[in-house]
Amino acid sequence: MLASVLGDRVMEVVAAAVIDQGRLLVVSKKAAPAVFYLPGGKPEAGESQEATLVRELGEELGVAPRDMDLLGRVEDVAALEGVPMCMTVFTASLTGPPKPAAELAALGWTDGRDAYEPRLAPAVRNQVLPLLVRAALLPGDHGI
């Protein structure tokens, strides 16, 4: 909805939802170490979404995504720039253990209901987590 109103002024981001043992991989960057979000980033001109993810995961984690599958497109405010953002999220596994690059401040795994929850970027907390719970990829409240 946001994207249809604001068009080109919406920041495009592509990110990976990597889940292992019921927990989601999140990273924070040295530029904003208290904010955790999905590995990924902005596409370069003419770059496909899959190529963006391969490049960003290589740069940030030293690994490649495997078995990419579209989870959905979500809209929220970009955690760092504070501008409208549209993020395309792929579920994926990794070709090996993630090795955080120098630009990262931290790497962690969250079930969405732990100490990371208040530090998650709005798009992850408000949009991506509910999608993952609905897809039974993360534990939910089970109607409680």
Q: Does residue number 38 form part of the binding site for ligand 8DG (CB under 6 A)?
A: yes
Closer CB to ligand 8DG, 58 or 143, in the complex: 58
Q: Residue 59: enclosing H or E segment and its boundaries?
A: helix 49-61
- Tokens 């408000």: give the residue: 126
CA distance 144 to 137: 18
| By CB under 6 A, residue 124 contacts ligand 8DG | yes
Measured from the CB atom, the residue of 18 and 123 that comes closer to ligand 8DG is 123
Residue 24 found at the interface with ligand 8DG (CB under 6 A): no
Q: Which stretch binds ligand 8DG (CB under 6 A): 35-43, 94-102, 108-116, 132-140?
A: 35-43
Residue 138: CB minimum distance to ligand 8DG, A = 14
Query: Pick from 78, 92, 129, 138: which binds ligand 8DG (CB under 6 A)?
Result: 78
Which residues is 22 bridged to in the sheet? none
Q: Are 2 and 84 in contact (CB under 8 A)?
A: yes
Beta strands in 7-137 (DSSP E): 11-20, 23-29, 32-37, 40-41, 65-77, 84-94, 104-110
Residue type, 74: V
Written as six digits, the tokens of 98 are 């993630």
Binding-residue pattern over the window 79 to 118 for ligand 8DG, x denoting contact by CB under 6 A: xxx---x-x-------------------------------
Residues that bind ligand 8DG (CB under 6 A): 13, 15, 37-38, 40-42, 78-81, 85, 87, 121, 123-124
